[in-house]
Homo-oligomer: A and B are copies of this chain.
């Protein structure tokens, strides 16, 4: 871990790991994976073929894991959260399928993106199917409160996606606007995924709110780090096309910071690049060098640490124990990813 990364306070000083979270939720995730497999089936063979390509494509399933971890944290003993965690993963998968069409992506999680193998039309329509299936699962659960949380999150995600599209290739996008976009497109589902655990366990409003804040801040931290890694010269391979954000003219925080801190000449470069006139490998290398010279990746990670810390502090109302420690480590891990 480079010297500029300040570890978040934890009892031992070992590097943060997702392992405790994976261990905590292993049994529950087996149940969720069964529901995922069962409920992505259809008499139309293209549906499980395409959904399976992405769903079995090596994702961490972090979002349903949040629902399971939240349930452990509050001592929930039922099984309702398995269907709801599946609904959360289906909403996420539908979003990924549509995102890859929107961005014209070639790779997803290191494999050919579904739209490349099955075509854009199939990706759009199977995304719609998974989205509908997610709602069926929630309706089967039968809690209007859960339905309100997850349908609200879905609408906010869609708004965030449109907002991101609107901001694309706009060099004057502010950090505040960027944060608004990632709160909507990413953090809203993290928040809802964690929150529904408190709802099925019939927790107090305070506990529900605390899980929501944990998920929301974790989601912001997670997206910030994702966006940092796309310009991180030291980062391990991400499983997506390196420089995708750059070539798509996405205004992520590393670019926003480098542009704000840049000379006139550098700003001219960024204007041209974000407008789509600098897309070569040499241009990408230049962009990464500029971002490095202004510490924009390190500072994006520092912003992520702020949100991860807020996520951790939101858990303070819950008793210490295996679940809380796993969730704390997951938040720490989210900001150390890619080193």
Q: Which A residues form the contact surface with B (CB < 8 A)?
A: 42-47, 94-95, 98, 101-102, 120-122, 124-126, 128-129, 131-133, 135-136, 138-139, 142, 144, 147-148, 151-152, 154-155, 157-159, 161-163, 165-166
**Copies of this chain held together in the complex:** 2
Contacts of A128 in B (CB 8 A): 94-95, 98, 131, 157-158, 161
A45 / chain B contacts, CB cutoff of 8 Å: 166
Expressed in whole angstroms, the Cα–Cα distance for A161 and B122 within the complex equals 9
Query: What 8 pairs across the A-B complex have the smallest Cβ distances?
Result: A129-B158, A132-B155, A132-B154, A102-B121, A135-B151, A128-B158, A125-B161, A139-B147
A178 to B133, CA, bound (A): 23
Q: How far is the CA of A95 from the CA of B126 in the complex (A)?
A: 12
Q: Whole-angstrom distance between the alpha carbons of A275 and B129 in the complex?
A: 27
Kindly report which residue of chain B lies nearest to residue A156, judged by CB atoms. B132
Contacts of A121 in B (CB 8 A): 101-102, 165
- Which residues of B are found within 8 Å of A158, using beta-carbon distances? 125-126, 128-129, 131-132
Interface of A is mostly: helix
Choice from B101, B122, B135 contacting A162 with Cβ under 8 Å:
B122
**Between-chain CB contacts (< 8 Å), 22 pairs:** A44-B166, A101-B124, A102-B120, A102-B121, A120-B120, A121-B165, A122-B162, A124-B124, A125-B158, A125-B162, A128-B161, A129-B155, A129-B161, A132-B158, A135-B147, A135-B155, A136-B151, A136-B152, A138-B151, A139-B144, A139-B147, A147-B147
- Asked if B98 contacts A125 (CB within 8 A), the reply is yes
Alpha-carbon distance between A155 and B42 when the two chains are bound, in angstroms: 10
